Structure 1
Amino acid sequence: MSETTTTTAAKPQPEWLQPLLEIGPLVIFFIMNWQLGIYWATGGFMAAMVVSVSASLFIMKRLPVMPIFTLVVVLLFGSLTLWLQDETFIKLKPTITNLAFALMLWAGLAFDRPLLKYAFGTVFNLTREGWRILTFRWALFFVFLALVNEVVWRNFSTDTWVAFKVFGIMPITMIFAMAQLPVLNRHALAEDGGERPS
């Protein structure tokens, strides 16, 4: 029975896949902005996001909810940027996306459903309190990212904003994720489902 279940289970995500799918479109965005300008970069970013999400769907055999939502926002704001020739829309995209993620996470908590558990429950095995704490912290972090994006794009050049989006956001996110390790360790469940001794 267990062998059958293992065979039919969803294919686990390769460790290299998520970083590649996230960084790839951003690198293309940076290079095209550097060489051709923000409007060509926006078009390239939109195409790269379509390829990234399609590759994730093909490899994982399932719809990745957060990347799908990000793709929709990228296509919407990217299209407005190109149609109206106004780079403000693509600069607003991170603000809208991060605030939307924060609201979704907080809405889940309001209904006693920590949504991060559904996204990362196959990676981490945490107590209910652990998922609640982690979800709340990530919601706050998404608000922080939205505020930082607003400060940068409103006060610095487009090239500076693009560079920060590519080379600033990812390290900040990694540092924040690493800072959550004590929560992961403190609220980790043992393999039998019981809490680990502290």
Structure 2
Amino acid sequence: MKFLADFFPVILFFVAYKLYGIYAATAVAIAASFVQVGYGWLRHRHVENMHLITLGILVIFGGLTLVLQDRTFIMWKPSVINWLFGGVFLASLFIGEKPLLERMMGGSINVPSLIWRKLNTTWGLFFILLGFLNLYVANDFFIAEQALIHQTGITEIDFDQCSTLFQSNELKMCLNAKSLEESWVNFKLFGMMGLTMVFIILQAFYLARHMRDAEEAPEEN
């Protein structure tokens, strides 16, 4: 349930996008992130740092998306967040007595310090990889959008109105860009969520094996 709660703004972004388009979805995601943080404070008198960081970056990049009517900012946002998280995990290997993952989970899970460092490094690299994957998917849209702008001279294009705005080859280019935008939205929810779920499951198996080793070690002495 906590996993789904963490993705609450992303899920609402996806639903709003399918109904009303990317700008309305951006506004909904910002509002959902405020609700997420507010609910955490009212219920637990505590807000997770991850939710606060996500809210701050979403307000900045989502706000720029809405004010400038430029979807580029909201498409960059997942990469910035993941790179930031990845950097924090990797930096914690050198700052403080314990890596961040051990600080978060060490109170309830007993595994050797070396295992925590390996897992912490893996989490950091995973977040960085997610950031690059997001840009890889979004870049196809960026290329298609720039090609259409160069072809038509129109800098602000409503991709929900392709059939109204364009004809012939320009219509095909617009529909292709719209399809690539939809692919990015699908990846943002299903791709990132799916990869994260698989990663968490693999981590759980890895931790379980070393937890057993830690429990059996005293008996072997």
TM-score (norm 1): 0.82
Which of 114, 139, 144 is matched with 1:129 structurally? 114
Deviation at 1:57, TM superposition (A): 2.4
Deviation at 1:22, TM superposition (A): 2.2
Larger radius of gyration: 2
Give ranges in structure 1 of 5+ residues lacking alignment: 1-15
What corresponds to 2:131 in structure 1?
146
Say which is worse superposed, 36-45 or 124-133, in terms of deviation: 124-133
Q: From the superposition, tell whether residues 60 and 20 of structure 1 become closer, same or farther in structure 2 (CA, over 3 Å).
A: farther
Q: Does 1:89 align with 2:73?
A: yes
Deviation at 1:129, TM superposition (A): 1.5
Q: Percent identity?
A: 35
What corresponds to 2:215 in structure 1?
196
What corresponds to 1:116 in structure 2?
101
State whether residues 134 and 183 of structure 1, in contact with CA within 8 Å, keep that contact through their aligned partners in structure 2: no
Q: Which has the higher helix share?
A: 2
State whether residues 57 and 64 of structure 1, in contact with CA within 8 Å, keep that contact through their aligned partners in structure 2: no
The one-letter code matched in structure 1 to 2:45 is K
Q: Does 1:183 align with 2:174?
A: no
Say which is worse superposed, 81-90 or 178-187, in terms of deviation: 178-187
**How many residues in Structure 1 have an aligned counterpart in Structure 2?**
178
What corresponds to 2:5 in structure 1?
21
Q: From the superposition, tell whether residues 147 and 188 of structure 1 become closer, same or farther in structure 2 (CA, over 3 Å).
A: same
Deviations 1:104-156 (A, max 9, x none): 11111023530112223344333221211110000110111011101111114
What corresponds to 1:102 in structure 2?
86
Deviation at 1:189, TM superposition (A): 7.8
State whether residues 129 and 187 of structure 1, in contact with CA within 8 Å, keep that contact through their aligned partners in structure 2: no
1:74 and 1:123 map into 2 onto residues whose CA distance is: 32
1:63 and 1:123 map into 2 onto residues whose CA distance is: 20
The one-letter code matched in structure 2 to 1:196 is E
